[in-house]
Structure 1
Amino acid sequence: MTDRANQYRGAQDASVASGRRDGDGRNGRRPSSRFTLWALAAGLGALLATDGARAQSGRLWRPEERILITSFHELGAVTADQRRVYAASPQGIEVYDFAVGRWEAPITLEDGFPLGERPSALLYDRFLDALWLGTEAGNVYVYRLTGGRWDALGPVAAGPIVRMVGDPRSGDVFLATPAGWLRLPRGGLFAEPVPRGAVPDGGGDISPEARLRRMDPFFDAIRGTITLDERLRRWPITDVEPADRPARYWVATYGGNLLYYDSRRMSAEPMAYGLLTRGVGAVALDGRRLWFGGDGRGPRRGVTAADVGLQQWKHYEAEYDGAPAGHVADVLPTASAVWFAASDGLFRLDRERESWQRIAEREGLPAREVYALAPGPGGVWVGTRNGLTFVTDDGAVEREGLFPARPIRRLLASRDTLWIASDLGLWLLPDASAARLPDAGGRGAIRPVLAPGSDVQPGLRGRVVDVRPVGDAMFVLTEDALYRWDADGWTGPLREGVHALGRLTALAAADGQLWVAGEGGVARLDLETQLWTTYLRPTDIPETPVYDVLPMGDDVWLATPAGALRLRWRH
């Protein structure tokens, strides 16, 4: 945080930190008009189609009830109002309240941010209390901060909108394009060409470096290092905006996110926020810390850690730190390390040394692709594409494995039993707290057995994707149905409430709620009322499938290709 921000850091709580805009009447940001129509249609459909056992969410989400965290580091433009700085990237607009030194909820896909656009210019309009967004495609959008509504003005130029300048007297907006400057009169619908001299004083400079050089006589002295990060990468400057104090500036970079440049101190402080990758494969809670496993896509890959208030961020990159470069399917925090199951191996982050260890086939894993993790005695159980193995706390792989040539989809350590969801059905390893895999001669181990009664359930003989305990019962998920096992035996297949999700992917349970994820969204079962509620794409979730689910009290985190989505399901 900046020196100004540090004076106020203790003044706000985590709920304000991660989503609410207080103090100026903007905490009523609403979904876009297009989203509103979708939601109303979904709500009407739910009223007509539901019976007493299920319902579709179809709700109008308040701003603090849905937050999408994704990758924001490739910034194209920056602007500021009296207390906030806004930085635009292809995935959305990050918002930092410099008056209190806290990140607010970003403006992203679920808020109606235009999908597929690359921002190239951004302007705060004090007359409308709105953001003007120009893109590389020449399109212009207006986002009303008070109402939370996006308006598309359509293509204004044949090329990119290079810069936007507002006239503080008239409210007119000037647009810089490759063909010259355009003026959009306040309240007008059509832009008209104007000479450069007609642009408000100081607004004619298109190059961000030229503007910074004009405003700051010391810029040339620091130009070589201002965007140099801790890994000695130099990121190009895409935009600049004067900050709230003299000789301070907000600097947007393409790849290095936002910088707070203090000309008097000749320093540039990086402002870290968001993920390395756009998508998230897995999410896990580690005390007061959240882990977001990347999806293996994009130029910067790895994993991200953040506090639960979404204020402090740390990135672990594959290229520089040795973090996973592939899709992360599972995250397991233990006392001494944090383990990551990824498509390019098993990864161990040592808590004390902050060092990474990659374990793959060369180190003895049955396969490079790792899908599942569970805690074990003195190490972790590891499910791979080619079976199950055990890895000790110091990273040593047991010599033999189980279920060779069969994928292990999920592992669950419950009491003294290891439950194994595999392509061969549902298995368990009794007394797993003392179990070891066979030695080289096949001796000295407890062998897995089929889950009791599962052999008479045809759906449990094939691929099982997840298993979760709830009280004295065990819920098991296949790709098309849910099963329950308790003292009375098996119940299922249960498809009521989950049929709208398509292929099912994951289970989670907490606080009397059972969550089922799938290709089309998630469904929540209230175990007391037996009422199902579904949250579907696009009315509730901007992009699917949902890879992972993490319930956290009144909220739930969903891992999706668009990022980590936090829903406030209970209100």
Structure 2
Amino acid sequence: SITTDQHHVYFATTGGVTRYNLFTNVWATPLTTSNGLVDNRVNVVAVEPVFNELWCATRGGVSRYNPRTESWTTYTSSSGMFLDEVHSIGVTADGRLLFETPEGVAEFDVDRQFWRTDPSNTISGNSVFTRWHGARRQKTYDYPIFVTDIEYFFDPPDQILDRYFRSYRLTGIMEDTFSNVWIGTWGLNVGKASLRSLELDIQPTGLVTRNVTAMSFDGDYLWIGGAEDTRSAGRATRFIRGVENYQDRGGITRYNRTTREWKHYQPRDTDGLQNGTITAIVVDTATVW
């Protein structure tokens, strides 16, 4: 899922929460277990507008992030709360957060700062306006058909196709305050579409694979090689079924340490790179080997 506040766009991923700074137009440092997130496999993210805090539903519980103090609070499945399989977060107009799971609903009162749970699912956001994130968010598409480059074909609300007609499922759509529409995909990173130019730009971010096997520095660039991650290859998340996982199949990541821009090279879209298993990377004055 995708959510925004006044400064960032946040993306739930299988490797933590990635975030894009709307003022500097660069990718900020991701939020992971290394800085307080309870688990890197994030199902849903939502921003609560009263205190402007980020809530992250993971398979290990729900983590609450305060961007002002950069501090975390984590709630786990205890005392009757069902927080390790949250598939939807609802933000109500009267100051509540609803966490839906297969076992029931947990509610957090933002003003009074307390929880209550209801296995019978009678807690509901239907009586007041509720903005849903995750599985409960309606799969409607109310934007133009954005134009992409020749590499891709945008086919909302379901997919983006590449030039080989491989399909990448759309996992989330969110508009920010700068007239951009952010599009999450399964396997093709993030799309940033402008409502002014009607152009859609695919923006890679993060590593091609978490199984890092080689690295080399080249001035401002860091080249990172990887191999297929056998721990996660072919495995879909609990809430996204029937989608082939193109991530973690190996390849090369190039990161610009000055501009914080990422570029991916994988066999499926890079002529001459026949295998994604990288065992070594060496840089000379003109070539990367």
Compute the TM-score of the two structures, normalised by the length of structure 1.
Answer: 0.40
Local SS of the residue matching 1:191: strand
Cα distance in 2, alignment partners of residues 271 and 79 from structure 1: 17
Cα distance change of structure 1 residues 222 and 293 upon mapping to structure 2, 3 Å threshold? closer
Query: Residue in 2 aligned with 1:114?
Result: 38
Query: Residue in 1 aligned with 2:21?
Result: 97
Query: Residue in 1 aligned with 2:263?
Result: 314
Deviations 1:226-245 (A, max 9, x none): 63346543222222322114
Q: How does 1:334-373 map to 2 (within 5 A)?
A: 334-339=284-289
Structure with higher helix content: 1
Cα distance in 2, alignment partners of residues 314 and 230 from structure 1: 18
Compute the TM-score of the two structures, normalised by the length of structure 2.
Answer: 0.74
Query: Residue in 2 aligned with 1:63?
Result: none
Query: Residue in 1 aligned with 2:187?
Result: 255
Query: Residue in 1 aligned with 2:71?
Result: 149
Cα distance in 2, alignment partners of residues 236 and 140 from structure 1: 25
Note if 1:278 corresponds to 2:210: yes
Percent identity at matched positions? Answer: 22
Cα distance change of structure 1 residues 219 and 207 upon mapping to structure 2, 3 Å threshold? farther
Cα distance change of structure 1 residues 230 and 292 upon mapping to structure 2, 3 Å threshold? farther
Q: Is the 8 A contact 2:223 2:253 kept in 1?
A: yes
Local SS of the residue matching 1:122: strand
Query: Residue in 2 aligned with 1:241?
Result: 174
2:219 to 272, 275, 287: 287
Deviations 1:316-352 (A, max 9, x none): 1134432542252x3211244211xxxxxxxxxxxxx
Cα distance in 1, alignment partners of residues 207 and 144 from structure 2: 33
Query: Residue in 2 aligned with 1:183?
Result: 107
Q: How does 1:321-470 map to 2 (within 5 A)?
A: 321=270, 322=273, 324-328=275-279, 330-339=280-289
Cα distance in 1, alignment partners of residues 99 and 269 from structure 2: 40
Larger Rg: 1
Cα distance in 1, alignment partners of residues 114 and 145 from structure 2: 38
Query: Residue in 1 aligned with 2:201?
Result: 269
Note if 1:197 corresponds to 2:143: no
Note if 1:165 corresponds to 2:90: yes
Cα distance change of structure 1 residues 151 and 230 upon mapping to structure 2, 3 Å threshold? farther
Cα distance change of structure 1 residues 204 and 251 upon mapping to structure 2, 3 Å threshold? closer
Query: Residue in 1 aligned with 2:156?
Result: 223
Deviates more, 1:231-240 or 1:77-86: 231-240
Cα distance in 2, alignment partners of residues 336 and 153 from structure 1: 51
Alignment root-mean-square deviation, CA? 3.1
Deviations 1:290-326 (A, max 9, x none): 2111144243311111212252221111344325422
Local SS of the residue matching 1:228: strand
Cα distance change of structure 1 residues 300 and 207 upon mapping to structure 2, 3 Å threshold? farther
